[in-house]
Structure 1
Amino acid sequence: MSAHYSVAILQCLVHHVYLSCISNLTPSRHFCSPTAPCRVALPLLAPFRTLKLVSSLWKSVADEYKIDTFFLNVEEGVYYPHAWHINTRLRKAVLLSRYRIFRTIDSDGGTSNRGVYVAYDFGGSAGCAGASEVVIKAWVSGSDVEYHREAAAYKLLRGCPGVPATLQGAQYEPLCDVHILPMQKLGPSLEDLMSLLPNRQFDLRMVLTVAIQMTERYRDIHARGVIHSGAKPGNICFAPRSDAPGTLYAIDFGFSLALADNLLIPSAHRIDSVGNRRFMSVLAHHGISKSQRDDLESLGYLLSYLFHGQLPWDPPRPVRSRSIATPASKIFEGMDACFHEFWRDVKALAYGEVPDYEKLRGRFAVCLQQHEKGCAPYDWWDIWDQFNS
C-alpha cells in the first residue's frame, strides 16, 4: 500500500472521529458549527482546536475538508440547488460568528440580489440554549442602492420609537459573500392581519388606531431627517409580544430618502419614482422629489385601503383611474369626516413644509375617543389570536 494511500485513509479516519465526537456535544440544542461555535460549545471543542496547532496531519485534514458541518439541522424539507442564489449563500455558514439562518421571509427570486430571513442569534452567554430569533436583511452587492439607503436610514433612526432596533451595523460577511443587517424581530404585519379578517377589512376603531400611531411614527421619523417612502400594510408590524402590546412599528427603509438629499425646491430630475406604486403619492409618481407631505399622503391611501380592503384604482379597475383628480370623497367613501379633514390638510402642504402632526393626530384621537365610548385600547396581539385560533 502506498504512503499516499495510507495517509488518505488516516485522514478519513481522523475526520470520522472528529465528526463523531462533536456530534455528541451537550446540551444537544447546538445549531452552531465547529468553525463558529457558541460559547457553550467552544470549550468542548478546545482539544480539537489545540490538536490542529500541534499536529500537521490534523491541520491538513481540517484544511482539506474545511470542517464546518452544522451540529443540528434547523430547517426541514428545504432545498436550494443553486450555489449562487442568496438563499443558498446565507445557509453555508454562521453569519458574523453568531447568526444561523433557518427561514426565508422574502427573497428576490428573479435576480437573487436581496432577501429577508429569520435567524437564531446564539451570541449570548448561554450560547445556543439561550438563542433568540432575529431578522437578517441581506444583499449580494455592496453597491445595491437599497442596501445603502437602508443602512443609512437605520443609522439615523437609532433609538427612534416605533422603528426596529439594529443589533449590529450593516456588515460584509466574507464566508457567504453577502452584506447583512441584523435587526430586531417583530410580530406580524398589518397585511398578515388583513388576511385573517372578514373581507380583509379593518373596522373604524382599528383604522383610527393605525392613523394615530402612524402619524406619531412619521412625526418622529421626519424629525430624524428621513422620508420613509414605504407606507403599505406589509411594512407596519406589531411590537413583539414581550413589548407594549398596542405599539406598531414602521419597517423597510430600502426606499427611504434623507431630507438633506432633496433640493430646497421640488425637482422632477432629482429622484427616481421609488416605493410601492399602489400607495405612492401622486407627485412621487412623476419623479418629483419627496418631502414630509408624501409620506402622509401615502398614509392616507393606506388608511383607505385598511378600511375598504382595496383602493379605488385596484384591479379590475383600470390603472389609469388613479390620478390627481381622484377626489377625497372617493378615497374615503363611507369613512368619518376626520379622514377628509386629514386629507385636506395634507394636500395643502407645500413642499418641505413641516406638518402640524399634533393637529393631524388630534383629530383621529378625538374621533377614536368618541367611538370607543370607554372601550379599552386595542391590543393587536389579542386581535391576532382571536382570528388566528
Structure 2
Amino acid sequence: MNTVPNGLGPSLKIIERIVCEVYLSCLPQLNTPTPECNKHFCSLASPGRRALILLAPLLSLRLVASSWNTAFKNFQHSTRAAFFSAVEDGVYYPHAWHINTRVRKAVLLARYRVFRTIDSEAGNRGVYLAYDFGGAEGCAEALEVVVKAWVTDSDFECQREIAAYSVLGGAKPCRGVPVPRTTGAQHDPVCDVHALVLPKLGPTLEDLRELLPDKQFDARMVLTVGIQMIERYRDIHARGIIHNGIKPANICLSPRGSADPPDVLYAIDFGLSTILDMASESPLPSGQRVDAVGNRRFMSVFAHHGIGQSQRDDLESLAYLLSYLFHGSLPWDTPGGPNARGSSRSRSRTATTQTEQHQPQVWRIKIATQPSVLFRHMDACYVDFWRDVKALAYAEVPDYDRMRARFMARLQEHEPSDVPVDWWDISEKSKQ
C-alpha cells in the first residue's frame, strides 16, 4: 500500500467525503432488483458476494494511500454506510443496552442479519430469525436461520445450551436435535453479544395446535407425538442430558424438504437442561434443594420441590404434554392464572407473583389428579405409561422400547395401513 505524508495529502475529512460520494453512486446498482438478487442483507462492513463486485470501485480506493484506507474504515462503521435495504419496517428499539437493539446494530458474525424477534427475556437474552448470506451466492441465496443471543456468556442458559449441544451434536449427532451452525456461542465485538446459530426448523406443535379447529390433537396425532418423544428422550438421556424443557413450543416439525420421514419431530431449547453423572453406578439427587427449572405447567412434581431431575422427570412432563395436546388444557389450568398461556419459564423457587398467591399451588393439584382424570377419554396405554414413569427411581433407566412398543401397537389399531403422520400435510390443510 502506498503512503502519503500527512502534510502532503488531502485532509481526512475531504477524503471521507469522496468515499461517501463513491459509496452513494454504488447504491442504485445495489438496490436495483436483479434476477439473481432483489434484496441485500449485508452491509459495507460485511459485504456479500454480489456487493463485493459492485463495490469494487469503492474498495479499490483503500489501495491509494494509508489516509484513504483510514477514511474508508471511518466511513465503513458510520451511520451513513447503512444496510443496503431494510428488512424490518416500523421496528424501534429505544434502549441501546437491550438485546433486541444489540443484535440489529450490525451484521452478526459478519454473515447473519437479524430480521425478526421470536422471543426475548429481560433484555439480556433472545431468540431471533436471521438471514445467512455467507454462502457461495451471498444475498442471492440467503437462508433463514435461528440465532440465540446472550449479552454475556456467563448467562445460566447460555452455558447450559452450549454444554448440551456440545454433547448432542458430536461426531454422531443425536437424531431429532438441531445441529448448531457455529461452534459454541461466538462473540460479536460490534454488537457485543454472544450468538449461537441454529438451523431453522418447521413450525412448533403450539403453532400447529393453534391452526386446528378445536385446538386439540386427535388420538393418532397424540400417539405419534408420544412415540417420537420417547425416541427423542431415549437418545438424549443416553448421552446424559435431561431436557427439562418440554412444552408444545419446544417441539418442532422437521425442516421442509429435509430427508426426515414426515412424522419426525425435533426437540429444541436446552437452556434449562442438566447433565447427569453417568459414571456413577448409583447416582443420587443432590442433598440440597436446587432451583426449579422448566415450565410450571409441564414440570414434574419433584421439580416443583427443587429435587434434582432425571429421566423420570422428562417422561412425567411428556405425560402432561400428551394430555394437554389431546384435551387442549390441563386440570391445573385456571383462567387468568400463571399457567393460562403455558409460556412461563421458571428458574427460581422464590419467585411468586401476586396472582399466584391466590391460585392453588400447581404441584398440589398434580399430586391430587388421578391418572383416570388426567387421561380421561384417552387410550389405556397412557395410564400404563404413567404408572411405569411414576414407579421409576432417580436416574433409573426407563424401558423406552416397551413404552414405545405400547404406543406403536395402539397406533396401528388406529391406522392399520402404517402410513406415518405427515405433520406438514396437517399444517397446510389446517391453514386452508
Matched, 1:332 2:375: yes
CA displacement, residues 64-103 of structure 1 (integer Å, 9 cap, x when unaligned): 3324421121122222222221111111111111111111
Written as runs of structure 1 = structure 2, the 5 A alignment for 1:96-245 is: 96-108=109-121, 111-158=122-169, 159-169=173-183, 170-243=185-258, 244=260, 245=262
Partners of 1:322 and 1:253 lie apart in 2 by: 27
Contact 2:323 2:374 (C-alpha < 8 Å) held by counterparts = yes
1:23·1:71 contact (CA, 8 Å) conserved in 2? no
Q: How many residues align?
A: 385
Compute the RMSD of aligned alpha carbons.
2.3
Please tell me whether residue 288 in structure 1 is matched to residue 307 in structure 2.
yes
311-320 or 151-160, which moves further after superposition? 311-320
- 1:11, 1:57 within 8 Å by CA — same for their partners in 2? no
What is the letter of the counterpart of residue 184 of structure 1? P
| Counterpart amino acid of residue 377 in structure 2 | G
User: Structure 1 pair 282/342, CA: closer, same or farther in 2 (3 Å)?
Assistant: same
Residues 244-253 or 370-379, more deviating:
370-379
1:34 maps to a residue whose letter is L
Q: By how many angstroms is 1:270 displaced?
A: 5.4
Q: CA distance change for structure 1 residues 268 and 325 in 2, over 3 Å: closer, same or farther?
A: farther
Letter in 2 for 1:383: I
Match of 1:40 in 2: 50
d(CA) in 1 for partners of 2:236 and 2:381? Answer: 23
In structure 2, what is the Cα distance between the partners aligned to 1:249 and 1:92? 31
**Offset at residue 14 of structure 1 (A):** 3.3
2 CA distance for matches of 1:102 and 1:45? 24
Q: Secondary structure at the match of 1:260?
A: coil
Equivalent residues in 2 for 1:52-71, closer than 5 Å: 52-65=62-75, 66-67=77-78, 68-71=81-84
Q: For the residues of structure 1 that align with 2:21 and 2:385, how far apart are their CA atoms? A: 69
Mapping for residues 83-94 of structure 1, pairs under 5 Å: 83-94=96-107
Structure 1 range deviating more: 215-224 or 41-50 = 41-50
> 2-side partners of 1:174 and 1:7: how far apart?
26
Q: Cα distance, 1:388 vs. partner?
A: 1.2
Deviations 1:257-278 (A, max 9, x none): 0112999212352531100011
TM-score (norm 2): 0.84
The Cα offsets for residues 9-46 of structure 1, whole Å up to 9 and x where unpaired, read as 66334312223224423754322111111233224434
User: 1:53, CA displacement in angstroms?
Assistant: 3.8
Higher mean C-alpha deviation, range 53-62 or range 29-38: 53-62
One-letter identity of the residue aligned with 1:146: E
The answer for the alignment partner of 2:272 in structure 1 is: 255
Q: Is the 8 A contact 1:33 1:94 kept in 2?
A: yes
1 CA distance for matches of 2:164 and 2:286? 22
**Deviations 1:218-244 (CA, angstroms, capped at 9, x unpaired):** 001001110000110000010011122
The alpha-carbon deviation at position 136 of structure 1 amounts to 0.4
**1:306 to 2:325 alignment:** yes
Distance 1:256 1:6 in 2: 57
1:326 CA displacement? 2.0
1:369 equivalent to 2:412? Answer yes
Tell me which amino acid in the other structure corresponds to 2:303. A
Q: Is the 8 A contact 1:268 1:287 kept in 2?
A: no
Shift of 1:346: 0.4
Whether the 8 Å contact between 2:99 and 2:151 is mirrored in structure 1 is yes
Contact 1:99–1:121, Cα closer than 8 Å, also in 2: yes
* TM-score (normalizing by structure 1): 0.93
> Which consecutive unaligned segments of at least 5 residues does structure 1 have?
none
The aligned amino acid for 2:68 is: W
Q: Please state how far the C-alpha of 1:383 moved relative to its aligned partner.
A: 0.7
Give how far 1:55 is off: 3.1
For 1:39 and 1:259, how far apart are their aligned partners in 2? Answer: 45
Which residue among 356, 360, 368 is the counterpart of 1:319? Answer: 360
Q: Assess, with a 3 A threshold, how the Cα gap between structure 1 residues 142 and 133 changes in structure 2: closer, same or farther.
A: same
Distance 1:58 1:105 in 2: 41
Q: Which amino acid aligns with 1:241?
A: R
Equivalent position of 2:39 in the other structure: 29
Q: 2:5 corresponds to which residue?
A: none
Matched with 1:350 is 393
User: Per the alignment, do residues 44 and 260 of structure 1 end up closer, same or farther by CA in structure 2, a change over 3 Å counting?
Assistant: farther
Separation in 2 of the partners of 1:11 and 1:46?
17
CA contact (8 A) 1:115 1:139 kept: yes
Aligned residue among 14, 18, 24 for 2:23: 18
Q: What's the secondary structure of 1:180's corresponding residue? A: strand
Amino acid at match of 2:92: Y
Give structure 2 stretches of 5+ with no counterpart. Answer: 1-9, 338-358
- Quick one: distance in 1 between partners of 2:366 and 2:226? 23
- Per the TM alignment, residue 7 of structure 1 is displaced from its structure 2 partner at its CA by 6.5
Judged with a 3 Å threshold, the aligned counterparts in structure 2 of structure 1 residues 82 and 8 are, in CA distance, closer, same or farther, namely same
- Give distance in 1, aligned partners of 2:195 and 2:23: 31
Q: Which amino acid aligns with 1:19?
A: L
Identity %: 61
C-alpha deviation, 1:57, in angstroms: 4.6
Tell me the amino acid that sits aligned with residue 160 of structure 1. C
Letter in 2 for 1:128: C
Q: Secondary structure at the match of 1:195?
A: helix
Distance 2:188 2:310 in 1: 35
Task: Work out whether residues 273 and 285 of structure 1, in 8 Å CA contact, stay in contact via their aligned partners in 2.
Answer: yes
CA change 1:7–1:274 in 2 (3 A) is closer
